[in-house]
């Protein structure tokens, strides 16, 4: 198995952190190149102007430098110090302005005077700078030289896709967004966890096929869906990964289709983890579940997060940095996905071949307990034998029993070995 060591997921975040990403451009390409060093992804380029459902792929954005200089020629707001200083997708600007004019294009957070906010202007041509509120308050009434050395041109939208064929063409979809510049929880935690999940899957034999997509939020998901509409029916389970590195408890947002198996599976994983968690109903706001669960697509896709978007003060600011995410929380999130995959891969239905009264397990050497002191695995065998009537799968039975799913995998192996059950689907 390709299990990451305790800091591997975090270390990959450190590597990706300095890159200035956006919904298009070289930052995304550089990010995908680094992912490709770990897992074999295919990198796709879709031309600006391509129609994707009701949307159009925008122009590609390139940024080389940006600054505001005071009258002494000092770079008092400097893109080279933090890529959050420039409003993402800003059009090029090169002029001298008064403080009053400059202030119309400045963004800060008065409640968090040391943090730089993250702002974008993807679909409206505009420009601006983000700065700490302290910086803003120290600006003097003078003439400023401003320059944003950027370019918007007919180029491409870039995304990455990892596909691993299993025994069946039925698929598990994992999706994560890759369009945020230097912020760690949103979105590097999702990128790094998804990459390491891919690495784990490469190291084992899988029943299901797996597809992991690394896409710019919204427009990337819409593009991917528009380009892959004919193979969506293979997707049986899906998870959007975001915000997986903070100290908060897990939040699973259910798929729009309430009865989707992924909802029951992740709930069971969270119960078995004995960690604190919340299950939330689907809402048409948040990450790319908005597209995957739009009514005409309606895929069985839920979203796994720790603290949800907009519910922590560091969200979309420079404080979502390398100190805000921790290896232990990232590893815990990774483990939740691994446990989810483990259920998906092992949740079959069986039929009890000795349904009239209990088969005698003792004479087969697989039941040694004295009454009142039953072992967990023996209990699991009794549950499986009783409910393997063709109506219940292993997940149903394990949920009913209150025992962990893991023990059911072991119990099934024993029962199959002794020809007491048969797999039906
Ligand atoms: Zn975000």
Task: Kindly give the distance from the C-alpha atom of residue 296 to the centroid of ligand 1, in angstroms, as a whole number.
Answer: 25
Q: What is the pLDDT of residue 3?
A: 72
Task: Kindly give the distance from the C-alpha atom of residue 217 to the centroid of ligand 1, in angstroms, as a whole number.
Answer: 8
Task: Kindly give the distance from the C-alpha atom of residue 181 to the centroid of ligand 1, in angstroms, as a whole number.
Answer: 10
Q: Are residues 128 and 272 in the same domain?
A: no
Task: Kindly give the distance from the C-alpha atom of residue 104 to the centroid of ligand 1, in angstroms, as a whole number.
Answer: 24
Task: Kindly give the distance from the C-alpha atom of residue 418 to the centroid of ligand 1, in angstroms, as a whole number.
Answer: 52
Q: What is the pLDDT of residue 369?
A: 74
Q: Is residue 272 part of a domain?
A: yes
The bridge status of strand 75-78 relative to strand 60-69 is antiparallel
Task: Kindly give the distance from the C-alpha atom of residue 186 to the centroid of ligand 1, in angstroms, as a whole number.
Answer: 5
Q: Are residues 298 and 400 in the same domain?
A: no
Task: Kindly give the distance from the C-alpha atom of residue 394 to the centroid of ligand 1, in angstroms, as a whole number.
Answer: 37
Task: Kindly give the distance from the C-alpha atom of residue 122 to the centroid of ligand 1, in angstroms, as a whole number.
Answer: 13
Please give the angle made by the CA atoms of 400, 403 and 409, to the nearest 5 degrees.
100
The mean per-residue pLDDT over the stretch 14-20 comes to 98
Q: Is residue 252 part of a domain?
A: yes
Task: Kindly give the distance from the C-alpha atom of residue 188 to the centroid of ligand 1, in angstroms, as a whole number.
Answer: 10
Q: Are residues 217 and 245 in the same domain?
A: yes
The mean per-residue pLDDT over the stretch 114-125 comes to 96
Q: Are residues 312 and 408 in the same domain?
A: no
Band of pLDDT at residue 2, cut at 50, 70 and 90: low
Q: Is residue 303 part of a domain?
A: yes
Task: Kindly give the distance from the C-alpha atom of residue 308 to the centroid of ligand 1, in angstroms, as a whole number.
Answer: 10
Task: Kindly give the distance from the C-alpha atom of residue 202 to the centroid of ligand 1, in angstroms, as a whole number.
Answer: 29
Q: Are residues 334 and 229 in the same domain?
A: yes
**Does the pLDDT of residue 200 top 80, yes or no?**
yes
The mean per-residue pLDDT over the stretch 139-151 comes to 98
CATH of the domain at 399: 1.10.10.10
Non-local (6+) Cβ contacts of 136 within 8 A are: 103, 106, 108
Q: Are residues 365 and 411 in the same domain?
A: yes
- The number of angstroms, rounded, from the C-alpha of 314 to the middle of its chain's C-alpha atoms is 18
Task: Kindly give the distance from the C-alpha atom of residue 425 to the centroid of ligand 1, in angstroms, as a whole number.
Answer: 40
Task: Kindly give the distance from the C-alpha atom of residue 155 to the centroid of ligand 1, in angstroms, as a whole number.
Answer: 23
Band of pLDDT at residue 371, cut at 50, 70 and 90: low
pLDDT tens for residues 165-182?
A: 999 999 999 999 999 999
Q: Which of 96, 125, 153 is the last residue of a domain?
A: 153
Q: Could you write out the DSSP letters of every residue in 356-375?
A: SS---SGGGT---PPTT---
CA dist 401 and 126 (Å) reads 58
Task: Kindly give the distance from the C-alpha atom of residue 389 to the centroid of ligand 1, in angstroms, as a whole number.
Answer: 47
What average pLDDT does the structure give for the chain? 97
Q: Which of 295, 321, 345 is the last residue of a domain?
A: 345
Q: Are residues 83 and 200 in the same domain?
A: no
The mean per-residue pLDDT over the stretch 10-22 comes to 98
Cis before residue 187, ω within 30 degrees of 0?
A: yes
Task: Kindly give the distance from the C-alpha atom of residue 404 to the centroid of ligand 1, in angstroms, as a whole number.
Answer: 34
Task: Kindly give the distance from the C-alpha atom of residue 147 to the centroid of ligand 1, in angstroms, as a whole number.
Answer: 26
The mean per-residue pLDDT over the stretch 223-228 comes to 98
Q: Is residue 2 part of a domain?
A: no
In the block, tokens 């979809």 appear at 173
The mean per-residue pLDDT over the stretch 215-228 comes to 98
Q: Is residue 401 part of a domain?
A: yes
Q: What is the pLDDT of residue 150?
A: 98
Q: Where is 7: in which H helix or E strand?
A: none
Task: Kindly give the distance from the C-alpha atom of residue 33 to the centroid of ligand 1, in angstroms, as a whole number.
Answer: 22
Cis before residue 217, ω within 30 degrees of 0?
A: no
Q: Is residue 1 part of a domain?
A: no
Q: Are residues 264 and 396 in the same domain?
A: no
Residues of the chain with pLDDT > 90: what percent? 96
- Answer yes or no: pTM beyond 0.75: yes
CA dist 17 and 242 (Å) reads 16
Task: Kindly give the distance from the C-alpha atom of residue 41 to the centroid of ligand 1, in angstroms, as a whole number.
Answer: 23
Q: Are residues 210 and 334 in the same domain?
A: yes
pLDDT tens for residues 386-414?
A: 999 999 999 999 999 999 999 999 999 99
Q: Are residues 132 and 68 in the same domain?
A: yes
Q: Is residue 3 part of a domain?
A: no
pLDDT tens for residues 299-345?
A: 999 999 999 999 999 999 999 999 999 999 999 999 999 999 999 99
Q: Are the C-beta atoms of 157 and 60 separated by less than 8 Å?
A: yes
Q: Give the range of the structural domain holding residue 284, as residue numbers without chain letter.
A: 8-58+156-345
Q: Are residues 324 and 383 in the same domain?
A: no
CA dist 227 and 19 (Å) reads 27
Q: Is residue 92 part of a domain?
A: yes
CA dist 234 and 215 (Å) reads 20
The mean per-residue pLDDT over the stretch 97-111 comes to 98
Non-local (6+) Cβ contacts of 111 within 8 A are: 313
Residues of the chain with pLDDT > 70: what percent? 99
Task: Kindly give the distance from the C-alpha atom of residue 225 to the centroid of ligand 1, in angstroms, as a whole number.
Answer: 20
Q: Which of 345, 368, 385 is the last residue of a domain?
A: 345
CA dist 227 and 247 (Å) reads 37
CATH of the domain at 192: 3.40.630.10
Q: Are residues 129 and 251 in the same domain?
A: no
CA dist 415 and 382 (Å) reads 10
Task: Kindly give the distance from the C-alpha atom of residue 187 to the centroid of ligand 1, in angstroms, as a whole number.
Answer: 7
Task: Kindly give the distance from the C-alpha atom of residue 180 to the centroid of ligand 1, in angstroms, as a whole number.
Answer: 7
Tally the domains of the chain: 3
CATH of the domain at 110: 3.50.30.90
Task: Kindly give the distance from the C-alpha atom of residue 310 to the centroid of ligand 1, in angstroms, as a whole number.
Answer: 9
Task: Kindly give the distance from the C-alpha atom of residue 316 to the centroid of ligand 1, in angstroms, as a whole number.
Answer: 6
């Amino acid at each position: 198995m390709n299990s990451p060591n305790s800091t591997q997921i975090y270390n990959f975040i450190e590597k990706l952190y300095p890159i200035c990403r956006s919904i298009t451009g070289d930052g995304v390409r550089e990010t995908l190149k680094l992912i490709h060093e770990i897992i074999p992804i295919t990198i796709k380029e879709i031309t600006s102007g391509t129609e994707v459902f009701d949307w159009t792929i925008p122009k590609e954005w390139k940024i080389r430098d940006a600054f505001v200089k005071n009258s002494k020629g000092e770079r008092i707001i400097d893109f080279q110090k933090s890529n959050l200083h420039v409003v993402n997708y800003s059009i090029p600007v090169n002029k001298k302005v008064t403080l009053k004019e400059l202030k119309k294009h400045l963004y800060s957070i008065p409640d968090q005077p040391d943090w730089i906010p993250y702002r974008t202007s993807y679909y409206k041509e505009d420009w601006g700078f983000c700065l700490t509120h302290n910086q803003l308050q120290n600006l003097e009434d003078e003439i400023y030289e401003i320059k944003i050395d950027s370019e918007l041109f007919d180029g491409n939208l870039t995304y990455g896709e990892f596909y691993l064929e299993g025994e069946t063409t039925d698929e598990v979809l994992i999706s994560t967004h890759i369009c945020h510049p230097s912020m760690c929880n949103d979105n590097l935690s999702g990128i790094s966890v998804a990459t390491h999940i891919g690495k784990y899957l490469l190291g084992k034999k899988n029943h299901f096929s797996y597809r992991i997509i690394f896409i710019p939020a919204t427009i990337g998901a819409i593009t991917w869906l528009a380009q892959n509409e004919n193979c969506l029916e293979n997707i049986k389970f899906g998870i959007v990964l975001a915000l997986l590195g903070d100290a908060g408890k897990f939040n699973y947002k259910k798929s729009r289709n309430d009865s989707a198996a992924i909802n029951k599976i992740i709930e069971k994983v969270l119960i078995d983890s004995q960690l604190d968690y919340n299950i939330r109903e689907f809402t048409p706001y948040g990450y790319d579940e908005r597209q995957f669960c739009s009514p005409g697509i309606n895929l069985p896709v839920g979203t796994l997060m720790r603290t949800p978007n907009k519910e922590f003060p560091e969200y979309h600011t420079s404080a979502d940095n390398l100190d805000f995410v921790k290896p232990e929380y990232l590893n815990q999130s990774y483990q939740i996905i691994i446990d989810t995959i483990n259920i998906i891969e092992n949740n079959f239905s069986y039929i009890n071949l000795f349904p009239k009264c209990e088969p005698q397990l003792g004479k087969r050497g697989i039941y040694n307990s004295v009454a009142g002191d039953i072992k967990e695995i023996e209990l699991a065998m009794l549950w499986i034998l009783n409910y393997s009537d063709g109506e219940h799968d292993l997940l149903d039975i394990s949920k009913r029993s209150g025992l962990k799913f893991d023990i059911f995998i072991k119990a099934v192996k024993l029962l199959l070995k002794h020809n007491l059950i048969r797999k039906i689907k």
